[in-house]
Structure 1
Amino acid sequence: MNKIYGLLSCFVIALILSSTSCASRRYHSVSSPADYVNPFIGASTSVGAAGTYHGLGKTFPGATTPYGMVQVSPNTVTGGDNSPGYSYEHRSIEGFAFTQMSGVGWYGDLGNFLVMPTIGKLHTIAGKEDGTVTGYRSPYNKSTEIAQAGYYAVDLERYNIRVEATAAPHSGMLRFTFPQSKESRIQIDLARRVGGTAIQQYVRKVDDYSIQGWMHCTPEGGGWGDGDGNADYTVYFYARFDKPLKKHGIWSAEIPDDWKRKRDDVQSIPYQSRVAEAKVWPGRNELEGKHLGVFSEFETSQGEQVNLQVGISFVDMQGAENNFKKEIAGKNFDRVRREARAMWNTQLSKIALKGGTEDQKTIFYTSLYHTMIDPRIFTDVDGRYKGGDNRIHRNEGFTKRTIFSGWDVFRSQFPLQTLINPSLVNDELNSLISLADESGKGYFERWELLNAYSGCMIGNPALSVLADAYVKGIRNYDVSKALTYAINTSKRFGNDSLGYTPGALSISNTLEYAYTDWCIAQLAKGLNKRDTEQVYLAKSQAYRKIFDLEKGWFRPRKSDGSWEEWPENARTKEWYGTIESNPYQQGWFVPHDIPGMIELMGGKEKTLADLTDFFEKTPENMLWNDYYNHANEPVHLVPFLFNHLEAPYLTQKWTRYICDNAYSNTVEGIVGNEDVGQMSAWYVLAASGIHPSCPGSTRFEITSPIFQELSFQLDPNYFSGKRFRIVAHDNSADNIYIQRAVLNGKPYAKNYIDFKDMVAGATLELYMGPNPNKDWGIK
């Protein structure tokens, strides 16, 4: 997480945000899952509305397809911690980009190939929202803004132009409805990048309707982590206009070699002024430079529609052209939009619902939608991809994927995918293994972006995803090599030298490494490597070495074995031995040995009382706080601990409470960063009545579902069953407690269910009531 780009009034933002609850469904009736998707949910980076520097959901509202390479989305801001390039409260748009990140902090990246329709004088800079730099940016009419699955539209007030966007997996399309004008234009900023700039670009005219080129982005140009994320990639494009390039040109800003070009640099007045004064070459057909743009001018009649179709590749220009020709060449906008919508309905139909309110259905299917953006396709239509060695490779039995937000997504996002999309989990593991191979590093990256070993966050989350997949029978990868790389990962980042990890993040690191060492043991056990299993089971007990029995809680430890000073309010002191949390929040993270954790904490009764207090002190609005802080990942497994403490009714109570209070059908409807599907995946599982307490185990905790019935479609290539069903009899907003359960027609007394039973085609029936049944689920 990172700096604040500026505070806005919470009151003003609340007024703006309150108008968006059902904007995505304004123009058609609900008849399919895609109709319930509202991409405006979470589409805010506002620090003021969140009350903390982490901001809110940070999702984008634009058009994409399930796990697609391309996202065609409006961009309202380049600077600050605005990873999606958009925040709902902003009042002007600087263009429509063809790549975006979803729901992350640390400044973000992508936002490439920024297209803007304009009229009148040519400006070579978008300008700033506050007006300090003028350019082609335009105010937009919020009442005309529509976001749906696979579609986005808005009216630009400055130019009186209607903009519509849709997408295919490797390509995208914009449709502009122009007014009458002799000086209409489509212009493209090739240097633009969220959080920085592309350091070098190239463009050439292919024929009277088409251009192609590339944008090279490196850490010197900022981007992911303002360069600290080590992102180094090239976006290639092939773009076709449906009006001939009769009056076209290229602009180029002369950027001195000694100028820095990271996030704050490119937003500075000197840099902006230099771009605003860029040289324009009318009629030029080809150019390579440091800050390029390209434009096409034409005359339009009132209401005339002009289309721009773009293929994108991360491999080469031929790949971009191939992607374009395979997916959208010869298709009109409405057909591409229909196909995108059909893709979404196919994916979203993997979970069918009955019951619940209209808002609850919207939150559920929008959450499911958000879990299907990443890890996105990184492979071209011909099977080629750019590898970790920066060479071109070809898929062999899997689809190469990218954007693995490991520290976030191992908790809920990937356990959800093991149930509804096991082939994607298999793809991701093959992608991580191939990256470790091609890079020559021989270990798993914890947060991967476009082949970068970014080092973002902590722990070894790929090991959790690996173990969780393996124990659930998802094994279409080189398991032996995966174990070798997992061991290498633990040796490189782990508790080896002292049996714990000292330093500023001692608690978080030690606990997370202990858990993922247990994950290695599960994989070794499955491969009958008993010696390795025992070594890593022993290492998984490292959590005990940072528990201070005198203080009764986890405490950061120094490298000499002594404790760090215990400050006042130590358990609720943010960043005291922890990352983006406090010891009270992080300390519950011993998922692989919950009985051992409870024993250390003083036994069941003491632990239950402490955990209950932890939840009862949480503010009702669920925003960033010192207790159950659902806005960030360290606590996401904690509500399911009550099942292990013989108080499953409290898991039922608090998961319902979180679903009701941390999520809503509004722009501010995700209380923290979406984090590449994690926040939404938690909702999908918890609202369904199931969630793991320890990924790497086949145990799913049972909790209180929101809906009367859910049916999960199972993949016949992986599982024997056709569907897993959860039926909640007499379910309602008042009847939140499980009275009794039936599994496949027989009474069921456990507060958990095994994944193997689920994917065999089980039916779990829950009988609900208004008061806790404290006897159910404690056997």
Structure 2
Amino acid sequence: MIKKHVLAVAASFLISGQLNAQTLADYVNPFIGASTSTADAGVYHGLGKTFPGATTPYGMVQVNPNTITGGDNGSGYSYEHTSIEGFAFTQMSGIGWFGDLGNFLVMPTTGKLNTFSGQLSNPELGYRSTYYKKSEKATAGYYSVFLNKYKVKAEMTAAPHSGIMRFTFPEHQDARIQIDLARRVGGTSTLQYVKVVDDYTIQGWMKCTPDGGGWGNSDGNGDYTVYFYTKFNRPLTSYGVWSANIPEGQNRKREAIESKEYQHLISIADVLPNVKEKEGKHLGFYTGFATHANEQVLLKTGISFVSMDGAKNNLEAEIPDWDFDGVHKQAVKLWNDALSKVTVTGGTKDQKTVFYTALYHTMIDPRIVSDVDGHYNGGDNKPHKPNGFQKRTIFSGWDVFRSQMPLQTIINPSLVNDMINSLVTLGDEKGKNYLERWEFLNSYSGCMLGNPAVSMIADAYAKGIRNYDVKKAYDMSVNSVEKFGNGEKGYTAEGEGFGIAHTLEYAYTDWCVAAMAKALGKTADYEKYNKRGQAYHNIWDVEKAWFRVKDKAGNWTAWPDSGRLKQWYGCMETNPLQQGWFVPHDVAGLAKLIGGNKKMIADMNWMFNKTPDNMMWNDFYNHANEPVHQVPFLFNRLGAPWDTQKWTREITRRAYKNSVEGLVGNEDVGQMSAWYVLAASGIHPICPGDTRQEITSPSFDKTVYKLDKEYAKGETFTIAAKNNSAKNVYIQSARLNGKPYKKCYIDYSDIAAGGYLELTMGPKPSKTWGVTK
């Protein structure tokens, strides 16, 4: 009987979850980047760190397989792992720090009840299960897998605030669904509550504080409560809770909960049958039943960060019945609608898969965190209802200001408004007068460096995206650069941070404030911050002909033996070579310091030529890390646009693949993928806050951007590449709306106006097109 069940379930994977042919969602491969493996990456940062589970565009819920708790595994999943510990309803994507979320972990089991998951090294212990790898399927809005240990097929799909799971069981007298309420990717929730509402329903919450590790292993100040409302399609005739006795004062951060001692504590948790209500430090819930072969048992859950009532409303509004296939179909429709904002023609099937998966990954965050009725939990831990915007969270600022947010200004300007409103109101609610650089569920995490929210606001304002309190946004921008900046010295000294990286990043965001001040008619502010934008000069060492770290007294620190290739010398996760190109607001000034355009062009080409072919983490052009993402486009500013065309085509070819290892570094919450979407379509900014978009060699014959009528005058903007091929990577000539166009850049206003940019391609560089200023 069991063997027949396994064969039947395995065969069903050939047809279940399939999408209609030719839909955009059909090109999405959620396994691209779904690995945290440091061995494959060759560096401690790992690979893409994406998740393969089911979600919807910018949805609050992600129903996702989890293979590991703890470690530097922010997505909770890594493809090479051979067992699964359960399926969670919240997840982070592509983050480079110790992760968070991974809450409400559901697992279908049979036989003995285990109260702990066990570990990868010994999957037979605990409730985790090995899985039939060939059965694992992930598409946009759907995930399924066959669990070997329990002979159960697990399927899941999602709505924006809720999700539904369908488990196909074998014949068994002791089948079960169990839910680990304490589970959290980067540690543990510190307090949980569960209540049986009726014969089919439970509700409760999980409180996650820094005491339980989480974001940055508590350094990210992750502090949130997840509320749930869950219904089963089978009556709760046999149920209970388990409760581990966690001693007072027990360390509950990441390293502690990974330890054998802590795992032993939860493995001997008290099992309490028929308990209808319980609060505790480490709880789980289970419901048992007998099943016949191929019997399907379903569970659906609404999630809220506001209240249990909010979770109930979310579920009832989105999944009122038990139509799993209907929810899946709606999820696919949401993805097709979202992905249709950019359509490409031409290219290979793999290229289209990479493109639409990249676009998909840009549509995970910043996610909606308000309930269906609009309420959200504010920075003061009170419910709020926003006026005219949707509350969003997970602003990976230092990463996404470069490509992800500029992409959204074209395809989703309302999202940019939402994010600015979310950050500005958060400052008010928390009683802070500055903008957070890496926001996570209302936490000012302080992660990374610079003032990226200032860049996002300056870019939005310059592009006419202004549906927020402009005065507050400007004032908080000023306060941010005053709180975090180069100060009176005009540079950031060693001992006060990463001197080169901070000095350059602060100079840029000072310029961003200057750009806003000029547009707002604030002349004195413009002069002040424009001057401060030139602070990069203050750490230029003429002798070394590069940026160098100064101490507090203004003296140069020791120059490393490996010179500007020395990782971490004055830099965050980079070296001076990589960070030193970051003067986006004054490329001409940087070129002058270096010794002129020709010398800068030669130096950049030397760096690209030294870069390994696979573009994995390296000391030269390190696409795996954000500080270099504007570098390939600098050639446009220096009179050599053919080099921009050459190298962007090389990067799109070498750094992005249709494979699990298809991202050379962390996805970084949409940034890595947004770079590809823009560059592969033929445009990308150097300097957010400046409306100039660089033109480069498209990977596709045609890309059509669908514009938002509330923000743009036009309906679409098209970039067409005539005679495009793998060899014809160089732009020979261009026409904009039928007229000859000789510039290697285009203004955002021309994009928003709608139109048609046609590029004629060829196999050799044109030394005449695009060199006119």
After TM superposition, the score normalised by the length of structure 2 is 0.97
Q: Tell me how far 1:28 sits from its aligned partner.
A: 5.1
What is the distance in 1 between the residues matched to 2:311 and 2:345? Answer: 42
Residues 368 and 23 of structure 1: CA distance in aligned 2, closer, same or farther (over 3 Å): farther
* 1:592 match: secondary structure: coil
Query: What is the number of residues matched between the two proteins?
Result: 758
Partner of 1:623: 616
Partner of 2:10: none
1:176-575 pair list within 5 angstroms: 176-503=167-494, 504-575=497-568
Which amino acid in structure 1 is aligned with residue 677 of structure 2?
V
**1:598 paired to 2:598:** no
**1:585 paired to 2:586:** no
What is the distance in 2 between the residues matched to 1:773 and 1:587? Answer: 29
Aligned residues of 1:405 and 1:446 also touching (Cα < 8 A): yes
What is the distance in 2 between the residues matched to 1:302 and 1:237? Answer: 30
Structure 1 range deviating more: 130-139 or 684-693: 130-139
**1:635 paired to 2:591:** no
What is the distance in 2 between the residues matched to 1:674 and 1:25? Answer: 29
From 753, 759, 764, the counterpart of 2:746: 753
Aligned residues of 2:227 and 2:304 also touching (Cα < 8 A): yes
* 1:562 match: secondary structure: coil
**1:773 paired to 2:753:** no
Residues 414-461 of structure 1 deviation map (CA, whole Å, 9 limit, x = unaligned): 000000000000000000000111000110000000000001000000
Partner of 2:734: 741
**1:663 paired to 2:656:** yes
1:105-120 pair list within 5 angstroms: 105-120=96-111
Partner of 1:693: 686
What is the distance in 2 between the residues matched to 1:505 and 1:168? Answer: 42
From 56, 71, 83, the counterpart of 1:92: 83
Q: Tell me how far 1:26 sits from its aligned partner.
A: 9.4
CA RMSD of aligned residues (A): 1.2
What is the distance in 2 between the residues matched to 1:29 and 1:650? Answer: 41
Q: Tell me how far 1:331 sits from its aligned partner.
A: 4.2
Q: Tell me how far 1:95 sits from its aligned partner.
A: 0.1
* 2:533 match: secondary structure: helix
Partner of 2:669: 676
* 1:206 match: secondary structure: strand
Q: List alignment gaps of at least 5 residues for structure 1.
A: 1-21
Percent of aligned positions with the same letter in both sequences?
62
Which amino acid in structure 1 is aligned with residue 633 of structure 2?
F
1:63-74 pair list within 5 angstroms: 63-74=54-65
Which amino acid in structure 2 is aligned with residue 222 of structure 1?
G
What is the distance in 2 between the residues matched to 1:656 and 1:222? Answer: 42
Partner of 1:654: 647
Which amino acid in structure 1 is aligned with residue 651 of structure 2?
I
Partner of 1:139: 130
Q: Tell me how far 1:106 sits from its aligned partner.
A: 1.3
Partner of 2:7: none
Aligned residues of 2:89 and 2:105 also touching (Cα < 8 A): yes
Aligned residues of 2:123 and 2:129 also touching (Cα < 8 A): no
Residues 117-139 of structure 1 deviation map (CA, whole Å, 9 limit, x = unaligned): 00000000000010188201100
What is the distance in 1 between the residues matched to 2:444 and 2:411? Answer: 28
Q: Tell me how far 1:30 sits from its aligned partner.
A: 3.3
Partner of 2:9: none
What is the distance in 2 between the residues matched to 1:606 and 1:385? Answer: 53
Aligned residues of 1:23 and 1:146 also touching (Cα < 8 A): no
Structure 1 range deviating more: 598-607 or 410-419: 598-607
Aligned residues of 2:17 and 2:139 also touching (Cα < 8 A): no
From 698, 706, 712, the counterpart of 1:705: 698
* 2:568 match: secondary structure: coil
Which amino acid in structure 2 is aligned with residue 174 of structure 1?
M
* 2:426 match: secondary structure: helix
What is the distance in 1 between the residues matched to 2:155 and 2:529? Answer: 54
* 2:751 match: secondary structure: helix
* 2:719 match: secondary structure: strand
Residues 41-66 of structure 1 deviation map (CA, whole Å, 9 limit, x = unaligned): 00000000000000000000000000
What is the distance in 2 between the residues matched to 1:388 and 1:258? Answer: 28
Residues 705-744 of structure 1 deviation map (CA, whole Å, 9 limit, x = unaligned): 0110111100000010000000100101111100000011
Aligned residues of 1:85 and 1:100 also touching (Cα < 8 A): yes
Runs of 4+ in 1 over 2 A off after TM superposition: 22-30
What is the distance in 1 between the residues matched to 2:657 and 2:543? Answer: 42
Residues 183 and 24 of structure 1: CA distance in aligned 2, closer, same or farther (over 3 Å): closer
Partner of 1:162: 153
Residues 612-665 of structure 1 deviation map (CA, whole Å, 9 limit, x = unaligned): 101110000000000000001010000000101111000000000000000000
Aligned residues of 1:133 and 1:272 also touching (Cα < 8 A): no
What is the distance in 1 between the residues matched to 2:478 and 2:142? Answer: 44
**1:611 paired to 2:624:** no
* 2:674 match: secondary structure: helix
What is the distance in 1 between the residues matched to 2:148 and 2:475? Answer: 58
* 1:720 match: secondary structure: coil
What is the distance in 2 between the residues matched to 1:611 and 1:662? Answer: 18
Residues 24 and 67 of structure 1: CA distance in aligned 2, closer, same or farther (over 3 Å): farther
What is the distance in 1 between the residues matched to 2:374 and 2:469? Answer: 20
**1:152 paired to 2:126:** no
Residues 82-118 of structure 1 deviation map (CA, whole Å, 9 limit, x = unaligned): 0000000000000000000000021110000000000
Aligned residues of 2:83 and 2:123 also touching (Cα < 8 A): no
Q: Tell me how far 1:497 sits from its aligned partner.
A: 2.8
Which amino acid in structure 2 is aligned with residue 450 of structure 1?
L
What is the distance in 1 between the residues matched to 2:603 and 2:500? Answer: 19
Which amino acid in structure 2 is aligned with residue 339 of structure 1?
Q
* 1:251 match: secondary structure: strand
Which amino acid in structure 1 is aligned with residue 230 of structure 2?
A
Which amino acid in structure 2 is aligned with residue 741 of structure 1?
A
Residues 487-506 of structure 1 deviation map (CA, whole Å, 9 limit, x = unaligned): 11011100113111112510
* 1:591 match: secondary structure: coil
What is the distance in 2 between the residues matched to 1:239 and 1:201? Answer: 15
Residues 521 and 24 of structure 1: CA distance in aligned 2, closer, same or farther (over 3 Å): farther
Aligned residues of 1:25 and 1:38 also touching (Cα < 8 A): no
What is the distance in 2 between the residues matched to 1:570 and 1:280? Answer: 61
Partner of 2:5: none
Which amino acid in structure 1 is aligned with residue 604 of structure 2?
L
Which amino acid in structure 1 is aligned with residue 623 of structure 2?
H
Aligned residues of 2:123 and 2:130 also touching (Cα < 8 A): no
Aligned residues of 2:17 and 2:142 also touching (Cα < 8 A): no
Which amino acid in structure 2 is aligned with residue 219 of structure 1?
P
Residues 573-596 of structure 1 deviation map (CA, whole Å, 9 limit, x = unaligned): 000000010000000000000100
Which amino acid in structure 2 is aligned with residue 645 of structure 1?
L
Aligned residues of 2:59 and 2:161 also touching (Cα < 8 A): yes
Which amino acid in structure 2 is aligned with residue 556 of structure 1?
V
Residues 286-332 of structure 1 deviation map (CA, whole Å, 9 limit, x = unaligned): 00000000000001111111110000000011110110111112141
